[in-house]
Structure 1
Amino acid sequence: MSKGNKIDNAAEKAKGKVKEATGRAVGNERLEAEGRADQAKGDLKQAGEHVKDAFKR
């Protein structure tokens, strides 16, 4: 996995955590759900990169 992709995926997950926490704090369920979705998207991208790395070896 390239460093750029690692950083992008970590940023996606961090953005999701912030959204989720903000949504929870203000009682906005939609924002909270968006945050969870962003985190899942970051995890999925990271998993895809791991698969690519496995095939490169």
Structure 2
Amino acid sequence: MHWYNFFCGAGTLPPKWGLGVTHRTPTLFTDQQVLGKVAAFREQSYSLSFVNREPGC
């Protein structure tokens, strides 16, 4: 355990959406391709908090 962090207080929690599942798609994906990925998550009943468009991916 990092005692400094324990005694001085830990960092704040990220926003609730930031604690969930994130999926990254390439920046060059079209809107329809991104929505297709989201639909695939829903079809499998996977929880998805947000989709990130990742440059260079």
**What interval of TM-score do these two structures reach, taking the shorter chain for normalisation?**
0.3 to 0.5
Higher relative contact order (CA 8 A, sep 6+): 2
Q: Which has the larger radius of gyration?
A: 2
After TM superposition, the score normalised by the length of structure 1 is: 0.34
Instruction: Point out the structure with the larger strand share.
Output: 2
After TM superposition, the score normalised by the length of structure 2 is: 0.34
